[in-house]
Chains A and B, each alone.
Chain A
């Protein structure tokens, strides 16, 4: 997977490039907006990670130019501007995700993974399946090994979010944004408590656990433990 990182903060960029390469990605780095835009337009990248405030051409203009050139490459915006309105403006300009600085590297990695794995929503299946866990999206019924599991509608939404990203690490902020539509950071350990309740309902008595905690990052729903 080939990633273009557009970031003028060379110190931060150096560390990020190194970490991303260690995580198995091929990374190109552009240090300002003009260079970033020309490389984004020329090269075949699977993902672009861009800072919002850049010399010469800012991040949002880069996205608009890309979209104007009919390039659908997913873009993750990094920004030191973290209000809700900034975020909305970033997404409206055509960005696919928005991350406020400073962030944990694990958060960035999880979001990069989510964007790269996102598939065009063709031929959506109406039943989600992970191992022996089944979620019938039409009947809104969840069953584990054929045994029906009672869940509240919010727990169903949480489970659906995890099942659609089965095998991917999902962070707490991704869950707050995706399940509860909250774009700020409450101090309480809300997500952990809800996940542990969901885990009780799904994994209790089962011989193989499906919901796993990834230390320092978040959660992943998958069949096997590594």
Chain B
């Protein structure tokens, strides 16, 4: 369950959106910091190159003015603390032998090919030996001598390196912050959506007093919750009104029926009743009873449609119930020359109203008993398929044409013009209302020949709310 819930979070659109934004932030930070880094590096290099170029030109000018001695003097002057920090100079003969400067050997193999060659100088300063990277420029003087001016880059390299580390940290931290913010945002969002779906599931399963939580942050969720709650209040109000209407209709119709029946009953109990009167009164009484039954069925349909009977559902073993009813109906079927068999798996447990489920099976059975001619068979099966329980009542009777099967669930749909059989189709309407109440699917199919009624019921789950939560979240 817990895993399902966590994976559920990854499936939310809020999570996907925040992941997308995290990636976008990461990309933006990378581009900004990366280009700043590259730009800084090239500016530093450009500065160094400009200085080297300027010094080379000034030494060349010195050569033009006062020849090699002038250049040598100038170099020595610059080495002796007049020059810049970290500056490297060398004047070499045509064979690269040293004439002047602060480098002992010509660092290259002959003349370097690239415009800004680099090399390393090892220096021994008090206490430690260090290696300095040097960037240099080389010119050939008109007399064949070689002039080299370079700059110790260790300072700049350190600077660039620090910048590099800072850039990487920056990128990493901003991605982390974006990811954490996004995750907590989507988690909060998912939790509030889960609250909403959870409440909806509870309300649908009959806890009509339930309302969406209003946190008091007056954000869009509170606005949503408030208006959904208003809708729910309205619905509950309507259900209450409907229920009150049923009750008063039931009362107002039953009370006169009751008076009528009581009086007719009293007439029938008169000791000196002529048989010529008894017979019509008895048949009128049967009509009253039929009227009463129709009224009861109608009220039951209306009540089942209102959802009220599932306010306190209990676990019902549909297999056991089907077996009991098959046992109850079997002698009646045999009396009519029919074979009634049951093949029910037990332990197919549904959250619902036992009486209504019994009524559903009874109505389907009585429907079959009514239409299947003598010699036919009726079979009741209950089995478990994945997370649903299937109740299947099939017969090999005349069946029902396709368009009638479609209409059968509607109240007062006259099923068949079979003469002599009084059926207003209310029985099947009640079946479909009870099925809907239990969130079941009712299908009337052709059994080739005959009719097959399949009621597919959602099984009760021990931990209904977390499971439905993760399912609705990943949906």
Size bracket of the A interface: 35 or more
Does A190 contact B329, Cβ atoms closer than 8 Å? yes
Does B255 contact A183, Cβ atoms closer than 8 Å? no
Of the candidates A102, A105, A183, which one forms a contact with B292 in the assembled complex, judged by CB atoms under 8 Å apart? A102
Asked if A12 CB lies within 8 Å of chain B CBs, one says yes
Asked if B261 CB lies within 8 Å of chain A CBs, one says yes
Does B331 contact A193, Cβ atoms closer than 8 Å? yes
Asked if B440 CB lies within 8 Å of chain A CBs, one says no
Q: Which residues of A contact B303 (CB under 8 A)?
A: 83
Does B356 contact A84, Cβ atoms closer than 8 Å? yes
Asked if A71 CB lies within 8 Å of chain B CBs, one says no
Q: Majority SS of interface residues in chain B?
A: helix
A170-194 interface code vs B (CB 8 A; 1 in, 0 out): 0000000000111111111110011
Does A81 contact B247, Cβ atoms closer than 8 Å? yes
In order of increasing CB-CB distance, the 5 nearest A-B pairs are A102-B258, A80-B254, A102-B261, A101-B258, A84-B355
A194 to B258, CA, bound (A): 29
Asked if A154 CB lies within 8 Å of chain B CBs, one says yes
Question: Which of A12, A102, A104, A181 has the largest count of B CB atoms less than 10 A from its CB?
Answer: A102
Q: Which residues of A contact B331 (CB under 8 A)?
A: 193-194, 197
Does A154 contact B358, Cβ atoms closer than 8 Å? no
Does B262 contact A105, Cβ atoms closer than 8 Å? yes
Asked if B34 CB lies within 8 Å of chain A CBs, one says no
Q: Which residues of B contact A11 (CB under 8 A)?
A: 259
- Which residues of chain B from 238 to 266 have any CB-CB distance to chain A below 8 Å in the complex? 247, 250-251, 254-255, 257-263, 265-266
Does A80 contact B263, Cβ atoms closer than 8 Å? no
Asked if B369 CB lies within 8 Å of chain A CBs, one says yes
Does A85 contact B309, Cβ atoms closer than 8 Å? yes
Of the candidates A12, A100, A193, which one forms a contact with B262 in the assembled complex, judged by CB atoms under 8 Å apart? A12
Asked if B232 CB lies within 8 Å of chain A CBs, one says no
Asked if B174 CB lies within 8 Å of chain A CBs, one says no
B314-350 interface code vs A (CB 8 A; 1 in, 0 out): 0000000000100111011001000000000000000
Of the candidates B265, B293, B327, which one forms a contact with A104 in the assembled complex, judged by CB atoms under 8 Å apart? B265
Count residues of chain B with CB under 8 A from any CB of chain A.
42
Does B309 contact A188, Cβ atoms closer than 8 Å? no
A154 to B359, CA, bound (A): 19
Of the candidates B251, B265, B328, B369, which one forms a contact with A80 in the assembled complex, judged by CB atoms under 8 Å apart? B251
A187 to B362, CA, bound (A): 9
- Of the candidate stretches A15-23, A32-40, A112-120, A132-140, the one touching chain B is A15-23
Does A16 contact B262, Cβ atoms closer than 8 Å? yes
Name 8 A/B residue pairs within 8 A (Cβ), A-sorted. Answer: A81-B247, A82-B296, A102-B257, A102-B260, A103-B258, A187-B293, A189-B332, A190-B332
A85 to B358, CA, bound (A): 15
Does A85 contact B308, Cβ atoms closer than 8 Å? yes
Question: Which of B255, B268, B354 has the largest count of A CB atoms less than 10 A from its CB?
Answer: B255
Of the candidates B255, B299, B356, which one forms a contact with A82 in the assembled complex, judged by CB atoms under 8 Å apart? B299
A85 to B303, CA, bound (A): 11
Does B266 contact A80, Cβ atoms closer than 8 Å? no
A104 to B268, CA, bound (A): 11
Closest to A87 in B: B355
Asked if B461 CB lies within 8 Å of chain A CBs, one says no
Does B262 contact A80, Cβ atoms closer than 8 Å? no
Question: Which of B265, B359, B362 has the largest count of A CB atoms less than 10 A from its CB?
Answer: B265
Nearest-neighbour CB distance to chain A for B344, whole angstroms, equals 15
Does A183 contact B259, Cβ atoms closer than 8 Å? no
A185 to B255, CA, bound (A): 19
A76 to B133, CA, bound (A): 109
Does A193 contact B335, Cβ atoms closer than 8 Å? yes
Does B332 contact A193, Cβ atoms closer than 8 Å? yes
Closest to A85 in B: B309
A22 to B271, CA, bound (A): 12
Asked if A9 CB lies within 8 Å of chain B CBs, one says yes
Nearest-neighbour CB distance to chain A for B323, whole angstroms, equals 11
Nearest-neighbour CB distance to chain B for A23, whole angstroms, equals 10
B426-464 interface code vs A (CB 8 A; 1 in, 0 out): 000000000000000000000000000000000000000
Closest to B362 in A: A186
Given contacts A182-B328, A189-B332, A194-B328, 4 further A-B contacts (CB under 8 A): A15-B265, A80-B255, A83-B299, A197-B331
A105 to B263, CA, bound (A): 10
Nearest-neighbour CB distance to chain A for B109, whole angstroms, equals 104
A81 to B268, CA, bound (A): 26
A80 to B259, CA, bound (A): 12
A60 to B258, CA, bound (A): 20
- Which residues of chain A from 51 to 70 have any CB-CB distance to chain B below 8 Å in the complex? 53
Asked if B300 CB lies within 8 Å of chain A CBs, one says yes
Does B255 contact A83, Cβ atoms closer than 8 Å? no
Does B329 contact A188, Cβ atoms closer than 8 Å? yes
Q: A9 and B259 in contact (CB under 8 A), knowing A80-B250, A81-B247, A105-B266?
A: yes
Closest to A183 in B: B355
Of the candidates B262, B353, B369, which one forms a contact with A102 in the assembled complex, judged by CB atoms under 8 Å apart? B262
Does A81 contact B262, Cβ atoms closer than 8 Å? no
Does A102 contact B308, Cβ atoms closer than 8 Å? no
Does A105 contact B258, Cβ atoms closer than 8 Å? no
B162-197 interface code vs A (CB 8 A; 1 in, 0 out): 000000000000000000000000000000000000
Q: A53 and B262 in contact (CB under 8 A), knowing A83-B300, A184-B359, A193-B332?
A: no
Q: Which residues of B contact A189 (CB under 8 A)?
A: 332
Question: Which of B263, B268, B362 has the largest count of A CB atoms less than 10 A from its CB?
Answer: B362
